Structure 1
Amino acid sequence: MIREILREEMPKKFNELLRNKKVIEMEDQEFCQLSLAFYELLLKLEPNNTQYISRIGETYHLMTQLTKAAEYYKRVIELEPPQKLSKKETKYVLRFAPVFYAIRNEPFELMDVIAIHHPTKPLIAYHVFWEDDYDFPDDFEPSDHEEVWVEYDPESERVTGLATWFHGFVHRTKDSVELANKNDGKPEILVEWGKHGSMLRGWEEAIDPITNISVKDVLIKHYNSLCHGGRQSTHPLKQSWPKRFEGTFEDYIDFYKMIDISELLHKKQMMIKSNYSSAVIQQYFLPYNFHPKYDWPF
């Protein structure tokens, strides 16, 4: 009977859940038990499915059970080993590396950049790691993980697709691809103060297609909170940080300070080819914990 009920009710309930605006306010951890049950069931049907194994690893990672997460990440890598980039792919990774624009008084430094090339598509994920997130001094993640994806045409060497991960959804704009090509293939990414939400030019009109919440609404909400010290304003780890955002909303969206991530990519050479970002980042590159994020949006 349970199987029949699930077959009838689950698709409808999942769609209702995903379209509920309250979901954007919920933390990933609130969905972990559901995720584990779902993918462990699927894994019984396909024991060597690397996607399912990766998702279970990411779920344990979100639960800060890092040793358990590593078991699944290692299994992913054993089944589907990452590959070194070819000379051409390395050239494209550096050519299309975005330029970031932050606020003048951004309190955190950019620590690391990892470029992961898709194994079969002309698609690059740039994973950037800031020192921390102003709203999360208490999450045991000494970094703030953000993502930018660049799709390109290897024949014309032009950008064909561009997206970022912005506070729970994939953010795209109409003109960002054309602008990147006008800038010799260099996408421009605008970085939110302290929280590092990554935006594209034209963000003023961008809307999450699932919740219909606009990027501007999110920024206004964050601005109003950060002006009063944000989340956990009295946390001991936060005492050496700025007490609040000082300035108007116009100051909050004055993206001025340029950061070219290609310099870090040249210096540290953290580039690889894989389907599974979290597994290779944890196993190959970073000695500190991070928040796992999306693999591919295209």
Structure 2
Amino acid sequence: MKPQLAHMQVFLALARTGSVTAAAHDLRLAPSRISERVRELESELGVGLFDRTTRPATLTAAGEALLPRARSIVAEFDLVETMFRTPPSPPVRVGVRSLPAEFRASLVEGIVRPAVGRSSLSLRPLDSHQQLDLLRSRDLELGLLWSELRDDGELDQLPLLEERFVIAVPDTPRFHRLDRIGPADIVGLRLATNIDPWTFPEVLHPYLEMVPLVDRINAAVEDGLLMLLSDGVHCSFVPAGWQDHSHFASPHGERILLLPLLDPQPSIVTYLTWRRDRRDEAPISRVLDRARRRFPEPHRR
């Protein structure tokens, strides 16, 4: 039997997960079918692709050589399917938090839009809580948000991006002499944020206790955070590369300092989020399959 697309899909799933059981779960196949297809592929190629003496299973040298070619083969079939898919499907609504512009473009143009095909794509700038509400009510198909869900029976997630957090404070003598900012250093400031501050990582909670006055900003207002930070009485937790974010603006002469926080350095993760009961709906399933192949681990910056 000549290698087929199904063999390449199974090979990639097992290479990604290292587990026959996990690969079977991802592809909605029986574990025995995963093992059978791997044996067929190895037999046809005349080489072993996995070292099964390790847990998780690891690629042999031949498997490593096949990996980029298998990805290319599957991607080409995805592209052909997208080109000739008919008829157009209903619009796909995707909630979007602020993301680094380059990362967002790569994600939307390289993963989401090709998977959507002829459906119209609606990107909606919303904060994480709004996205969660709309996902649960089925008014969004997918969400890109910061809230991590644990033991949630309704929603599932895939981590895509991990970013280090810093704090933006007024550029005044009070802060100019500091190398790092601790909780006590921000007493008297107001917090500017476009999300619920208590959804930030727990390491930031001691800081939040020092800034009980919070001014919330509409996530869709591109320069809203910058305008508040420019007044000299606000602070905000932002990604270290915030100037690259789609809904933040680079400070142009404003009196703002970006300073690291005390150890441990906090980070925030962007999750692709969806309803579990919609996993097999097209084009949601196509977006998820592409995202899993592209992000076996979250991108870190």
TM-score tier after normalising by the smaller chain length: under 0.3
Q: Which protein shows a greater Rg? A: 2
Return the TM-score normalized by structure 2: 0.27
